[in-house]
Structure 1
Amino acid sequence: MFSGSIPALVTPFRDGSLDEATFRRLIDWQIEEGSSALVACGTTGEASTLSNAEHHRVIEICVEQAAGRVPVIAGCGSNDTNNALLHMRFSKKAGAAAGLCVAPYYNRPGQAGLIAHFSYLAEKSDLPIVLYNVPGRTVTDIKPETVCELAKKFPERIVGIKDASGDLSRVTDHRMGIGKDFCQLSGDDELALPANAAGAVGCISVTANVAPALCAEFQQACADNDLVCARELNDRLYPLHYAMFSDASPAPVKYALSRVHEWLLPDVRLPLVACSDFAKAAVDEALQHAGLLGS
């Protein structure tokens, strides 16, 4: 259903408010550079600091500006099941292709709770769900057996996963336990190459915010089984993948975007602050290595 390079878009702010004009410009640039789909209101989009009204407006703008050129995956996750359903119903009405639903955070449900949570969403909304497993942020881990059970129970609703567990064996676990049609997307840029080799079909990417063309070329090389080209592109991008997390995300990626495009500000919302001088130096060096800054 989804494949290739899919940026988890930043949400541009100006003077503390959503910068709609800049967001539209960012969307156009991403599509022109070869991104195959867009994620709005994910972790990198600072969804945790958006009001529900802002959250829905970001999704609405993204769908409207994409205008059918690429599908939009709307961030719909919440640690409140009913609020996640609210996001899903809005996203369906707005025209999103799927909802990205993170494991509920803070309240730490067990596997039975995760099955109940995602089952409820699948039963109450007809918007396809891409599970999002990122235990480093949520503490809760969607185990492979839980993913398999949900995908088999709701094959038309639970269509894929963004896996940021860091455990590459799960790609094979999911593929063998569900089937090849279940859409597996890496949630870690630095692991996208081995994940694709194991059966993933793309990456929901932080780095693609800054280097959409390179990330799209890398994913195409993987799809073409051109390992030499994929490895060369991965080597160009690899330092940038780590620089994006040299300070609390998405401060480094917003700083990187401000270095690549003067029309993008590095502003983040509290409790995040601008990235450190150390992180800025790491980003600048990685951008230079990738060939994204002038000499």
Structure 2
Amino acid sequence: MGGQPESVVRALRDAMAKGVLSFPLTSFHADGSLDLDGFRAYVAGQLAAAPGALFPACGTGEFFSLAEDEYRQVVGVAVEEAGGRVPVVAGVGYGWAQAARFARIAEEAGADALLVLPHYLVAAPQDGLVAQLEQLAARTSLPLIAYQRGQVAYTAHSLTRIARIPGVIGLKDGHSDLDRLQRLTLAAPDGFLFFNGAATAEIQARAYATVGVPAYSSAVHAFAPEIADAFFAALRDGEQGTTDKLLHDFYVPFVELRDRVPGYAVSLVKAAARLRGRPVGPVRAPLTDPSTADLAELRSLLGAGLDLVGASL
């Protein structure tokens, strides 16, 4: 796909209107080594469900645990499997110097854009948050999507500043502060992309849409695209009874289970994918796989959710 920021914006805007955004899991062997064949097969399955775009090596893909060579392989496989059918947006992170190293790797691998994950460890003022993106944008030709979550939260004034940085095309929001988000959308120039990046975005999808942010990423798509796609279609078509049923019987109890243990936002998703026979393997430390009791509850919940959309475990 590739191209200038304007063409990437158009491709992403069109894609986000058609389906949820896929954030694929990264496959590991039992000993923790990278399982590239498993990852290739898993990504092919994700693409078969026709997501709006593919975001490899991001939070759900355990970017924080990947060595640079592993990152190169993961992004390369995602690009190869996508084959230009959907945009591929690779995660980058840490300080701008290290993020620039990952950006070069992603560019060489053929990614279309970059998702800039929150920086590591230290709190920073607004000027520093803006400078982080300025430094990275000066070192890559790929378009950038800023991700505000954790220690990164932009003011409306900072949003106008980052939107003027050449190559910065959008913002993913993980704070779910709709007052702040409304201020950001009002401050943004025409064409600037926004999408809902809450941990289980469907829970808040309707609320985000009311402030002009209907597009969202879906962790559930990583293990049950049938459920994620059914919810997306019902939300798009205004079928409130269907969305309410899915929220009440699947999404809310899933979130309650997810919130029991730190890191379950990734490890529970990965466990659910394994329950469905997907070749994703375990999580890497410092994450831990779910307990036996939580895994049994997850299996029951997953089966119930699939029943709701006429699919099977």
Same fold at TM > 0.5 = yes
Is 1:34 matched with 2:50?
Answer: yes
Q: 2:61 aligns with which of 30, 45, 48?
A: 45
Counterpart for residue 144 of structure 2: 129
Counterpart for residue 88 of structure 1: 103
Write the letter of the residue equivalent to 2:44. D
Is 1:148 matched with 2:160?
Answer: yes
Change (3 A) 1:192 1:116: same
Q: Deviations over 1:14-43 (max 9, x none)?
A: 132111111111111111112111111111
1:12 deviation in Å?
0.8
Is 1:55 matched with 2:71?
Answer: yes
Is 1:23 matched with 2:39?
Answer: yes
Write the letter of the residue equivalent to 2:153. D
2:36 touches 2:73 (CA, 8 Å); kept in 1? no
Counterpart for residue 191 of structure 1: 204
Q: Deviations over 1:31-73 (max 9, x none)?
A: 1112111111111111111111111211111111111121111
1:283 deviation in Å?
1.9
Gaps of at least 5 residues in structure 1 are none
1:75 deviation in Å?
0.4
Could you say what secondary structure the match of 1:205 adopts? coil
Q: 2:306 aligns with which of 288, 291, 294?
A: 291
CA distance in 2, matches of 1:265, 1:104: 26
CA distance in 2, matches of 1:147, 1:285: 43
CA distance in 2, matches of 1:197, 1:289: 29
Q: Deviations over 1:216-272 (max 9, x none)?
A: 3433444455555544444454133444444323211111111112x4254111222
CA distance in 1, matches of 2:271, 2:91: 23
Q: 1:68 aligns with which of 61, 77, 84?
A: 84
Q: How does 1:1-295 map to 2 (within 5 A)?
A: 1=9, 2=12, 3=16, 4-14=19-29, 15-78=31-94, 80-135=95-150, 139-151=151-163, 153-154=164-165, 157-188=167-198, 189=201, 190-235=203-248, 237-238=250-251, 239-247=253-261, 248-249=263-264, 250-261=266-277, 263-291=278-306, 294=312
Write the letter of the residue equivalent to 1:202. A
Could you say what secondary structure the match of 1:124 adopts? coil
Gaps of at least 5 residues in structure 2 are 1-8
CA distance in 1, matches of 2:281, 2:108: 31
Could you say what secondary structure the match of 1:288 adopts? helix
Change (3 A) 1:10 1:53: same
Could you say what secondary structure the match of 1:127 adopts? coil
1:5 touches 1:202 (CA, 8 Å); kept in 2? yes
Could you say what secondary structure the match of 1:130 adopts? strand
1:276 deviation in Å?
1.9
1:210 touches 1:257 (CA, 8 Å); kept in 2? yes
Higher strand proportion: 1
Could you say what secondary structure the match of 1:149 adopts? helix
C-alpha RMSD of matched pairs (Å): 2.3
CA distance in 1, matches of 2:155, 2:296: 37
Counterpart for residue 5 of structure 2: none
2:25 touches 2:280 (CA, 8 Å); kept in 1? no
Change (3 A) 1:226 1:126: farther
Write the letter of the residue equivalent to 2:104. R
1:210 touches 1:253 (CA, 8 Å); kept in 2? yes
CA distance in 2, matches of 1:82, 1:26: 31
CA distance in 1, matches of 2:256, 2:23: 16
Write the letter of the residue equivalent to 1:182. F
CA distance in 2, matches of 1:173, 1:48: 30
CA distance in 2, matches of 1:61, 1:230: 34
Could you say what secondary structure the match of 1:159 adopts? strand
Write the letter of the residue equivalent to 2:161. E
Write the letter of the residue equivalent to 1:132. Y
CA distance in 2, matches of 1:77, 1:276: 30
CA distance in 2, matches of 1:242, 1:100: 28
2:130 touches 2:158 (CA, 8 Å); kept in 1? yes
Identity of aligned residues (%): 27
